[in-house]
Structure 1
Amino acid sequence: MFLLTGEQAWNLPDKYIASGGRAGDHHPDNATYNWPSRTRLLSSMLAQHRATPRRWLEVFEQAATPTIP
């Protein structure tokens, strides 16, 4: 299980592409995306967000105290 904030999840396709991942059907104006299977790159990116007790606390703190631009 992986735990991402809304912003992290929304930005995942762009970060994946910036890291060298292929996503030919994704572009910034496209509100949807999918991968036919999880690539090694995507797996390594998601591993940074593995749902651990510490990660739950980090995400909770971010949600509880949002930054206002």
Structure 2
Amino acid sequence: MIVSIIESDCIGCGRCEEECPEIFELDNELVSKIKRQPREDEEDCVVKVERICPGAAVVISE
């Protein structure tokens, strides 16, 4: 799994960071950034974030 952020779609709500703080963080401009790619045991959390992101900014690819 590879996770990425479409920065222009990120609204800075912070839900990704709340759900998976090991993977996501908000920068100083309130745009989500990827801290690191998820391990296999963290993939469920990232899938949840992809579903709940109000801006549809989280993208998962294989």
Same-fold call, TM cutoff 0.5 = no
Normalized per residue, the structure richer in strand is: 2
Bigger helix share: 1
TM-score by length of structure 2 reads 0.33
Q: Whose radius of gyration is greater, 1 or 2?
A: 1
Under a length normalisation based on structure 1, what TM-score does the superposition of the two structures give?
A: 0.31
